[in-house]
Amino acid sequence: MDSNAKPAQFGFLRSFSYAFAGIATALRAERNMRFHFFSSIVVLLISFYFSITKTEWLFILVSIGGMFALEMVNTAIERVVDLVTDEYHFLAKQAKDLAAGAVFVYAILSVVIGIMIFLPYILELF
């Protein structure tokens, strides 16, 4: 056994620190990620206020988690493309546009889910 090798659990635990560093980087450096973060807080507060059902919570949490994950994948793609080339390249632009498009599609889906869940609660107030 290599004397420099670390037990497997330390590598596993260290991977969490890398993940948290990635999340912190996204929140610090990406305006859209901060927008999603603050929007999520508002949605969570509204969800508590209306005491939504467990099924509705599942849709809300999957929407929020999926949005964060997709935004970070989009950011990673943008960074890798920027790392590979400083020059304009049609395929680099396509990669960035496709990733941004995926985020946009999921954002629209999340808004539709939010409307479907919260509109009846809001209408009930009036």
What is the signed CA dihedral for 39, 43, 69, 28, rounded to 10 degrees? 30
Distance in angstroms (rounded) separating the CA atoms of residues 11 and 72:
22
- Cβ–Cβ contacts within 10 Å for residue 22, how many? 13
- Provide the angle, in degrees to the nearest 10, between the axes of the packed helices 54-84 and 31-50: 180
Q: Active site includes 71?
A: yes
Point out the catalytic residue in the list 30, 56, 71, 87: 71
**Tokens for 92?**
């680099």
Distance in angstroms (rounded) separating the CA atoms of residues 126 and 106:
30
Residue positions annotated with a catalytic role: 71
